[in-house]
């Protein structure tokens, strides 16, 4: 489904060229739930943006279903079947939640149909369906509405950048169930999540540890997760990987 071949990404700052992603190669097959974890600043969000088309690699190639999408835009990739949920969701002044879900679904959903997607993410539909997607919504509410739009799209590959950020404990517990249902409903689809949360790591098929712009570890959850546990957090263990101690 998704393949990255020798992908690198760098930026220019006052000190010159800075490498963010360093020669990464990985494959995500159909029907897989992949969690990418690692220390802050390790390149996780940048990698997600490269997959979605928000950023373009400095070198290397990205393939989706065998087609080279390296130079394709985020819109072109979305039309091919790639969804992306931001760590900080975008606000759309003047657009109601109902309209946003209809845009995502690419069809005229009834209010009742749209409400089902809101219910999936734990929002009381009657309180939100006619709300504007603006500053009146909290970060957690925006995050759940964005996830509802991803559900409405039902794409082959869904990429989430730290979906747990800014949401309360109840919503986080519900979020785990949402991801599990997504995987069951979209039988040929795959999910990539950027996360430090052990409960999300615990339902992954594959775990990738990204540190200092490189893949430090990758493999089945059963193999990688025990290496991450036994420390105070996945981040601490990833810091050990980065320092060459594990």
104 closest CA partner among 139, 154, 140, 50: 154
DSSP code per residue over 193-209: EE---HHHHTT-SEEEE
- 13 or 239, higher pLDDT: 13
pLDDT tens digit string along 186-208? 667 899 999 988 889 999 999 99
Residue with tokens 């979020």: 175
Instruction: Give 135-188 pLDDT, tens digit per residue.
Output: 888 877 888 888 889 988 888 999 999 888 777 766 677 788 888 888 777 667
pLDDT in tens, 36-45: 999 998 999 9
56-99 pLDDT, tens per residue?
999 999 999 999 999 999 999 999 999 999 877 778 878 899 99
Whether residue 212 has pLDDT greater than 90: yes
- Provide the pLDDT confidence category of residue 243 given band limits of 50, 70 and 90: very low
Q: What is the band of 35 on the pLDDT scale with cuts at 50, 70, 90? A: very high
pLDDT at residue number 4: 98
In this structure, of 6-10, 22-26, 169-173, the range with the lowest mean pLDDT score is 169-173
Q: What is the pLDDT of residue 233?
A: 47
Three-class HEC string of 52-121: HCCCCCCEEEEEECCEECCCCCHHHHHHHCEEEECCCCCCEEEEEHHHHHHHHHCCCCCHHHHHHHHHHC
The predicted pLDDT at position 68 comes to 98
Q: What is the mean pLDDT of residues 45-53?
A: 96
Q: How confident is the model at residue 230 (pLDDT cuts 50, 70, 90)?
A: low
Q: How far apart are CA 101 and CA 115, in angstroms?
A: 9
- Tens of pLDDT along 106-135? 888 888 888 888 888 878 778 888 898 888
Which pLDDT does position 19 carry in this prediction?
93
| Helical (H) or strand (E) element with 215 | strand 214-220
Is 244 a residue whose pLDDT tops 60?
no
CB 140 within 8 A of CB 166: yes
Cα distance between residue 157 and residue 41, in whole Å: 24
- Give the global pTM: 0.84
Look at residue 142 and give its three-state secondary structure.
Answer: helix
**Structure confidence at residue 169 (pLDDT):** 67
Residue 152 burial class via C-beta count within 10 angstroms: exposed 0-12, middle 13-18, buried 19 and up: buried
Q: Which of 110-114, 191-195, 234-238, 242-246 has maximum average pLDDT?
A: 191-195
| 31-48 b/e (C-beta count within 10 Å ≥ 16 → b) | ebbbbbbbbeebbbbbbb
């Amino acid at each position: 489904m998704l393949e990255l071949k020798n992908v690198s990404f760098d930026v220019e700052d006052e000190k010159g060229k800075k490498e963010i992603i360093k020669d990464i190669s990985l494959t995500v097959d159909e029907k897989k739930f992949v969690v990418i974890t690692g220390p802050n600043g390790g390149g996780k969000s940048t990698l997600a943006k490269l997959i979605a088309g928000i950023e373009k690699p400095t070198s290397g190639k990205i393939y989706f279903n065998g087609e080279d999408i390296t130079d394709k835009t985020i819109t072109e990739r979305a039309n091919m079947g790639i969804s992306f949920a931001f760590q900080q969701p975008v606000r759309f002044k003047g657009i109601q939640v109902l309209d946003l879900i209809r845009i995502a679904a690419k069809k005229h959903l009834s209010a009742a149909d749209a409400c089902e997607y809101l219910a999936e993410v734990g929002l009381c539909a009657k309180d939100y369906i006619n709300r504007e997607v603006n500053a009146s919504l909290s970060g957690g509410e925006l995050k759940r509405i964005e996830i509802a739009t991803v559900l409405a799209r039902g794409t082959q590959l869904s990429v989430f950048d730290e979906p747990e950020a800014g949401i309360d404990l109840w919503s986080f517990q519900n979020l785990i169930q949402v991801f599990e249902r997504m995987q069951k409903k979209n039988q040929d689809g795959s999910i990539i999540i950027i996360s430090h949360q052990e409960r999300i790591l615990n339902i992954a098929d594959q775990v990738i540890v990204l540190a200092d712009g490189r893949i430090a570890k990758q493999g089945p959850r059963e193999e990688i997760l025990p290496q991450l546990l036994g420390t105070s957090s996945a981040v601490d263990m990833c810091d050990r990987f980065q320092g060459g101690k594990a």
